Amino acid sequence: MKKKIQPWPVLEAKKLGHLKLFDCEVQKVRNPYSGAMLDITLLTGNDSVNVVAVNSDDKAVLINQYRFGIGAYIAELPGGMVDDGEDHLQAAKRELMEETGYEASEWHYLGCVASNPVFMDSFVHHYLALNATPTGRQNLESAEDIELLEIPVDELRLMLRRGKFLHPHTVSGVLRALVQLNREH
């Protein structure tokens, strides 16, 4: 069996328009194995970040935020899009402050995952922020309604097992943070 690792050539790309956070385009691609031509829809945009912030009481600072796609409030990590000209760590610090009012004195990069590799070209970068302290006020955007949550770090593992986290980026970030903190058991 032939290993399928060759990228699919993009023969043409047409921008369809700008959505609030992304640009949408249609690409005409050729399957390098069958030769079939097809149109795919792709959302292009900036990377994003999320943060597992832990305070001096060994509690993770999470948020409860309304998500339009499922029409519900869900517990998740603070985070958001990286602005043009901003590096990932700057964005993580900014998002933590904007969504929670917290800052942290120690930062660790945990890695990244694809936002949704099916139809998006961006990545989500995870950070662990230690010694998090409230130093400011939330600065929410008009589409945000956020409640702060402080959850003992050891309880995060139970929340994962019980399916309490519905956002896949939160699942990935929390798992990576628990590994970094040596609490993945």
pLDDT of 179 reads 96
Strand, coil or helix: what is 66? strand
Buried b (16+ CB within 10 A) or exposed e, 36-45: eeeeeebbeb
Per CATH, the homologous superfamily of domain 48-180 is Nucleoside Triphosphate Pyrophosphohydrolase (3.90.79.10)
What is the chain's alpha carbon radius of gyration, rounded to the nearest angstrom? Answer: 19
- Sorted by where each begins, the domain ranges of the chain are 10-44, 48-180
Which one, of 64, 66, 68, 96, lies nearest residue 80 by Cα? 96
Which one, of 93, 64, 66, 70, lies nearest residue 80 by Cα? 93
Q: Is the CB of residue 126 less than 8 Å from the CB of residue 50?
A: yes
Residue type for position 97: M
- What is the bridge-based pairing of β-strands 123-134 and 102-103? antiparallel
Euclidean distance between CA atoms 151 and 139, whole angstroms: 22
- Find the helix or strand (DSSP H, E) in which 178 lies: helix 168-180
Q: What is the pLDDT along the chain (185 residues), one digit of tens a residue?
A: 556 677 888 889 899 888 888 999 999 999 988 999 999 999 999 999 999 999 999 999 999 999 999 999 999 999 999 999 999 999 999 999 999 999 999 999 999 999 999 999 999 999 999 999 999 888 888 888 899 999 999 999 999 999 999 999 999 999 999 999 987 65
Geometric angle at alpha carbon 101, from 100 and 105, rounded to 5°? 105
Euclidean distance between CA atoms 67 and 82, whole angstroms: 19
pLDDT of 101 reads 97
pLDDT of 2 reads 58
Q: Is the CB of residue 60 less than 8 Å from the CB of residue 53?
A: yes
pLDDT of 184 reads 65
pLDDT of 140 reads 86
Q: Is the CB of residue 81 less than 8 Å from the CB of residue 90?
A: no
pLDDT of 145 reads 87
